Amino acid sequence: MFDRIKGSAMPFVVGILGGSRRIYATALETDLDGVWEKWERSKNLVPPRLVKSGPCQDVVHMGDEANIETLPAAVWTVGHDPGPYHTSPFVISRDPETRVPNVGVYRVQVKGPRKTGLMIYPPRNMNQHIRKNESRGCATEAAIVFGTDPVIGLTAVSPFPYGVDELAAAGGIRGEPVDVVRCLTVDLEVPATAEIVVEGKVPFQAREQEGPFGEYAGYMGEGGIHPVFEVNCITHRRNPIYQAFMSQMPPSESSCIKSFGREMEVRRHLKNNLGLPVHDVCITESSGATAMLLISMRKQNRFQPLKAMMGAWSLAIGVGKITIVMDEDIDIRDPFQVEWALSFRMQPAEDIHIVRNTDPMALDPSQPLKDGKKLPPTEQVSSKIGIDATRKFPYPPPSVPPREHLERVAANWAHYGIREVPQPRTET
Ligand SMILES: Cc1cc2nc3c(=O)[nH]c(=O)nc-3n(C[C@H](O)[C@H](O)[C@H](O)COP(=O)(O)O)c2cc1C
Ligand SMILES: [Mn+2]
């Protein structure tokens, strides 16, 4: 938390939801092993509860008084970004037909005191609201919320199916409804205890250049044509705290959050839908939580490693440009062990599968050029590599002393007069 920000009275916090895997677990009020179970609770939707008033509306700035430039948004990639961005906006909007709300994180580029960009990828849920509204010539009302109960932030960055209200999913994780208050100028409800709420709309067909922005892959992205948002009013707590996500070059808060969510999605699909004996799934942060997918399994036959790769590739999330399947004794979160498995359980001529004509990863700068020019995302084609680094037949015993010996030595370490006591490696 930074509490002396030049040009703003508000303190600025960053890294509070995904500064590390431990922080992420803490945000869900559990430990690393409890994260999966907490997320499973998000399936029991608990609709929000409407209350009369809330601290998020203690202070109200209407019309020209509502200046979004007073919020302490940062310039993240100095020298490359055109200006400040809000990286942790929980954007709430509503389906005009079903009235079901949605919460998503879509970055907000500050463009003026009452005008911002809203970078929404085509498959995102809010796009459907905009499309439906614009088919009737209407604007799309939205509320941009900063600083909430952590479970709301974590559901807002997770892709629930269209039609699921992320606030109801957050209620499921919490085990009690999220209290919401009505907005003052738009037909929406926002979490009553939020720090800051910016109400406004995407005017009918308002689109403009958005970006460039320092992207998840660790390179600048050019941006593109995206919706524009106009501010009606800003409400906030009496002494609000402003929240941002650290993104850009991995590892980052963004890569931590994404890897957790995507690992759980791949694991759920491989285990629950395909019945594969998967032990662990890791999507590395160095790959922007996208490119490198590691799977360990206690395989029951020689076909399952390839099935696991294909199962993961068939998901819409586009992960695993490089996918490696290993036996369950390998700790796939330890790069040393992964390289050991690749070195001695894999034959390049036999165990590597290259699949062509697959969907590309967004913003992958290695995407091939055509006639020296970058192709637009819709015309890009990529490929995938899958490596089966599981043992194909019985192996000799590993060249390590018995585990009891190692544990006895570790337990006696201090007794030998050596001060630092290392943790014994219990994996073989
Ligand atoms: C730190 C962070 C920043 C993100 N920024 C954007 C963004 O600018 N635009 C976007 O379309 N998705 C972005 N996402 C992904 C969406 O938030 C995510 O897909 C979410 O599920 C969207 O909500 P929806 O499924 O209700 O559309 C970001 C995710 C994270 C973790
Ligand atoms: Mn959604």
Residue ID of nearest Cα to ligand 1 atom 28: 105
For a pocket test of ligand 1, which of 17, 116, 124 has the largest count of ligand atoms closer than 8 A to its C-beta? 124
Distances 276 to 1, 305, 346 between C-alpha atoms, Å: 43, 9, 21
Give the pLDDT mean for 282-311: 98
Over pLDDT 90: what percentage of the chain?
93
The CATH class of the 12-244 domain is mainly beta
Give the pLDDT mean for 223-246: 97
Confidence category of residue 419, pLDDT binned at 50, 70, 90: confident
Confidence category of residue 417, pLDDT binned at 50, 70, 90: confident
Nearest ligand to the CA of 158 is 1
Q: Is 308 a residue whose pLDDT tops 90?
A: yes
Confidence category of residue 413, pLDDT binned at 50, 70, 90: confident
Distance CA 220, CA 233 (A): 32
Indicate the average pLDDT of the chain.
96
Atom of ligand 1 nearest to the CA of 166: 26
Distance CA 74, CA 280 (A): 37
Give domain limits for the chain.
12-244, 253-389
CA of 120 to the centre of ligand 1 (A): 8
Nearest ligand to the CA of 248 is 1
pLDDT at 425: 66
Residues with CB under 6 A from ligand 1: 102, 104-107, 119-121, 124-126, 157-159, 245, 247, 254, 257-258
Residue ID of nearest Cα to ligand 1 atom 2: 254
Distance CA 48, CA 151 (A): 13
Indicate the pTM of the whole model.
Answer: 0.93
Confidence category of residue 427, pLDDT binned at 50, 70, 90: low
pLDDT at 421: 62
Atom of ligand 1 nearest to the CA of 125: 27
β-pairing verdict for 224-236 and 220-221 = unpaired
Confidence category of residue 144, pLDDT binned at 50, 70, 90: very high
Cα 192 to chain center, whole Å? Answer: 24
CB 8 within 8 A of CB 72: yes
Residue ID of nearest Cα to ligand 1 atom 23: 104
Q: Is 428 a residue whose pLDDT tops 60?
A: no
Distance CA 265, CA 271 (A): 10
pLDDT digits (tens, 9 = 90+) for 40-58: 999 999 999 999 999 999 9
Burial 149-181 (b: 16+ CB within 10 A, else e): bbbbbbbbbbbbeeebbbbbbbbbbbeebbbbb
Architecture of the structural domain at 253-389: 3-Layer(aba) Sandwich (3.40)
